[in-house]
Amino acid sequence: MKNISQEEKDYLQGDGNTSNEKITLDLTGNNWQMEGIRPGEGEKIGFHELNFDITGDSFNWGFAKVPGDVYTDLWRQGRIEDPHFGRNSLKAKWVPENEWWYKRQFDVPVEMEGKHIQLVFDGVDFGCDVWLNGEFLGTHEGMFSKFKFNVSNTIRFERLRFGTNVLMVRLHPAPRRYSQVAGRKPAWHGDYWVALPPIGIWKPVYLEGMGKVTVEDTYVKPTIISEDSAKLDIEVELKNHEDVTKTVNVNVEVEGQNFESKVYSVSQELTISKEINNLELVLDVDNAKLWWPWDLGDQHMYKAKVTVTERGALLDVTTTSFGIREIKMEHNPGFTRDQVENPWTVMINGKRHFMRSGTWGGPPDIFMGRAHKSKYKELIRLAKEANFNNLRIFGWHPEEIPYFYQLCNEAGITVWQDVLPLASLSLPKDEEFKQAVFEEAIASVKEQRNHPCIVLLEGSEELFMTASDPQHNLNFVNELGEAIKPYTPLYYIPSSPLSDEVGLNLGFKPNESFHANDLFYGEGEFVMEDYFPSLDYAVIPELAISSCPNVESIKKFIPADEIWPPGPSWGHHWTDFDALRTLNFEVLGDQSKDGFEKFVEATQIAQGVIFQYALEHFRTRKPKTSAICICHYITFAPDMKWGIVDYYQEKKLSFNHVRKAYQPVLLTMKHYDRRWLPGEEFKGELWVVNDFYESFNNCKATIKFLDKNKSVVKEESFKFDEIEGDSSSKFTDVSCEVPGEMGDKFYVEMTLVDAKGNILSENDYFLLVADKQKDRKELRAIGLEAFDIKQKYGWANYFRYYPCLGAEEGSKEADEEMPIARGFK
């Protein structure tokens, strides 16, 4: 055996003194091994009985990392190729057919001896069995619920170089039917990913050594009393791990986490019985510093330190971060209760929070072993750069890791979140399934509720529109809302959308919420300037338009011989060529199919222009409309579908269009046509939307109309005496004789400055010199052709673009060396 250094000996042996301090031993990192085997075979041959031999039975196991996932570990080992590249994910479909064993050896500090020691798993996807030193500890199912085992009598305190304690975790084979695990695991399919169900130990694993009474949960509920004072209702959940009754003292100290403040404290002595005991404390905070979204104020954070002692001896201590902010919901003005029943306006500390949102199609990678913290940090930074003040986690995606919410707390970005992933399915009707989902939901809510960024909860996504029994699904999510109600004061919406045809049949009001996706799915049936102004809803939780990633990004996941003309890997990564060419034609007057770079650029411009037009329109409806959310901001795999930031954290051209549309102070030009004939009088309206609560006086707006060469053909300036805070107003009409000839573009550039000349908003558009009636007929013809093809070959079958893949053996099409997308040869 290798010699152990004195430093290592000191760590393993300790100093011989008993300490009352809480000790945590982190078991995450690269010191794990893993192996797969057919289901049920691992225990038969005794994997769970493996001991601490250095070169024993597991010497040939692969190395693994926790937190992580099975696919990433196998990829690092070279056992599978990168599932994101080409169609490699289809070649890894053998992985979920196995059970996967994870092994970790470790020694524990001697200071843990005599303490209550618990083994904690923050999250395992999806089901597992756990052994420690050959002793079976238990089974757990549910991706989002933390679970613990008392291992005080199982831990070994002997010392060996590689660790005498052997932790074995058997991951059950990945679920294959989403409906059986919905709510406790997100769907692993959708219209940007389809191949592999994730599986792995996706959150940290660690040992805790403390006294026989532990703090299981701390919840701080703030109430704002006045402009500079608040009351904190603090709920502390304690667990007594002994059979005897104990008298303990609980002390709570509260102070600023990211700013200097005095320390506020409150203590209480109480007698606790075995198992769970609940305590409520009240603390008054003067000079309270509030938490705000970034466009309304600062992001002050506090920390609450809970210390539990018994006759002066420390038993446990925990620290919880929170923000002082108060959420109330108000009904949107302009609607009657017969039109909109739910209050959809989020009021934060008494101020309206118009949610400029995007769906967080995350995590940054569907394989959590590749969802590094650096990616989270960059994506939150980019979200703020794009002027998002909200991110929506809807039912196709999991709740996020704590670091995500921490970043949102720090950035002042609020979160509109589905409680659990329940999306687009018929829910099972057995009571066991329902209770398991409700327990998972309660655990999830309790874990997240101290984050001030979370402001609105929903129960599901598109849960009614395709269900075989939508009434059962509605009953289910209504009961889910009641189950979590005791644990959170946040408002709860059962699903999204509520006001589609199925929702209306279920009794929802006609103007609640709507997914504004018909332009994308309509195959040229609509144009943006007709479609979006026709929608009259309190909120738009989803607005979907697709595009390709950047050229250099595409080269990272599409094989070189399939890049152009586009090969089948494009189809596997969800390229809807028909949708893209209809969108290209609507926005640019050209399908843009005659070159790789041109096609990619056109899709991003089309996505951006449509997003910008729609977002600016819905923002001018403020306060009647109180939230608009693009679908998506990001997605968790390289795809040719959604997102304004691609999988590689690269901004698409559409990113800048959204950034402009989401400026807190927005100078926008309403225009009800994008195609104008040469010499025709273009007409528009100048509006200003102000999401700040600050008013601006004596402002000046300048608008320039430019021809195809970017030469100015008309310039005007207007004085705006007052732009009120939290407002949306029309200020003036504008017009210009359309320059150029048929087939040209013309441009509009606008600037709004305050009384001192500081720029408040800059915006721009391009418009087409074209015959709108002729182009609309051509657009519809393209869409009808695409519709017919989908009807013939199937809506989700990308073989429709590659006839040779479904051709009869020996035919000319089947003999093609490389399948090329229809229409791109």
Segment 424-433, tens digit of pLDDT = 999 999 999 9
**Residue 814: its pLDDT value, please?**
58
Q: Name the band, by pLDDT with cuts 50, 70 and 90, for residue 564.
A: very high
Regarding beta strands 627-634 and 675-676, do their DSSP bridges make them parallel or antiparallel, or are they unpaired? unpaired
Query: What DSSP line would sit under 347-364, residue for residue?
Result: EETTEE--EEEEEE--SS
User: Residue 461 in contact with residue 424, Cβ under 8 Å?
Assistant: yes
What is the share, in percent, of the chain residues with pLDDT greater than 70?
96
**Residue 699: its pLDDT value, please?**
98
219, 418, 541 from 357: Cα distances, Å:
27, 14, 8
Q: Give the CATH number of domain 6-209.
A: 2.60.120.260
Q: Which two tokens stand for residue 563?
A: 């890049």
* Rounded Cα–Cα distance for residues 700 and 753 (Å): 5
User: Residue 161 in contact with residue 203, Cβ under 8 Å?
Assistant: no
User: Residue 615 in contact with residue 628, Cβ under 8 Å?
Assistant: yes
Give 586's Cβ-side CA count (13 Å radius). 32
pLDDT digits (tens, 9 = 90+) for 449-508: 999 999 999 999 999 998 999 999 999 999 999 999 999 999 999 999 999 999 999 999
Amino acid at 576: D
Four-CA torsion 711, 716, 720, 724, nearest 10 degrees: -30
Q: Name the band, by pLDDT with cuts 50, 70 and 90, for residue 9.
A: very low
Q: Name the band, by pLDDT with cuts 50, 70 and 90, for residue 808.
A: low
Q: How many residues in the chain?
A: 825
Angle between helices 577-588 and 596-620 (to 10 degrees): 70
Q: Name the band, by pLDDT with cuts 50, 70 and 90, for residue 4.
A: very low
DSSP bridge pairs for 23: 209
Task: Report the range out of 243-247, 451-455, 794-798, 814-818 with the highest average pLDDT.
Answer: 451-455
Task: Give the DSSP letter of residue 475.
Answer: H
Answer yes or no: CATH 3.20.20.80 is held by domain 339-546+610-638: yes
pLDDT digits (tens, 9 = 90+) for 144-197: 999 999 999 999 998 777 789 999 999 999 999 999 999 999 999 888 898 899
* Rounded Cα–Cα distance for residues 58 and 31 (Å): 13
Domain boundaries of the chain, sorted by first residue: 6-209, 213-322, 339-546+610-638, 668-772
Q: Given a cut of 90, is residue 796 above it in pLDDT?
A: no
* Rounded Cα–Cα distance for residues 220 and 756 (Å): 44
- Apex 772 CA angle, 767 and 778, nearest 5: 115
* Rounded Cα–Cα distance for residues 601 and 597 (Å): 6
**Residue 362: its pLDDT value, please?**
87
* Rounded Cα–Cα distance for residues 306 and 281 (Å): 11
List, in sequence order, the alpha helices (H) in 621-724.
Answer: 653-661
* Rounded Cα–Cα distance for residues 550 and 604 (Å): 9
DSSP bridge pairs for 165: 106
Q: Which residue has the higher pLDDT, 802 or 135?
A: 135
Q: Given a cut of 70, is residue 16 above it in pLDDT?
A: no
* Rounded Cα–Cα distance for residues 607 and 614 (Å): 11
User: Residue 20 in contact with residue 86, Cβ under 8 Å?
Assistant: no
* Rounded Cα–Cα distance for residues 339 and 319 (Å): 45
What is the share, in percent, of the chain residues with pLDDT greater than 90?
88
pLDDT digits (tens, 9 = 90+) for 347-392: 999 999 999 999 999 899 999 999 999 999 999 999 999 999 999 9
Looking at domain 213-322, which CATH architecture does it have? Sandwich (2.60)
Q: For 668-772, which CATH class?
A: mainly beta
SS3 543: strand
User: Residue 527 in contact with residue 630, Cβ under 8 Å?
Assistant: no
The residues near 791 (Cβ < 8 Å, ≥ 6 apart) are none
* Rounded Cα–Cα distance for residues 340 and 325 (Å): 26
SS3 281: strand
- Reply yes or no: is the peptide bond before residue 599 cis, omega within 30 of 0: no
**Residue 811: its pLDDT value, please?**
65
Task: Give this prediction's pTM.
Answer: 0.95
Give the residue-averaged pLDDT of 435-441.
97
Please check whether the two domains, 339-546+610-638 and 668-772, share a CATH topology: no
Q: Given a cut of 80, is residue 795 above it in pLDDT?
A: no
pLDDT digits (tens, 9 = 90+) for 85-130: 999 999 999 999 999 999 999 999 999 999 999 999 999 999 999 9
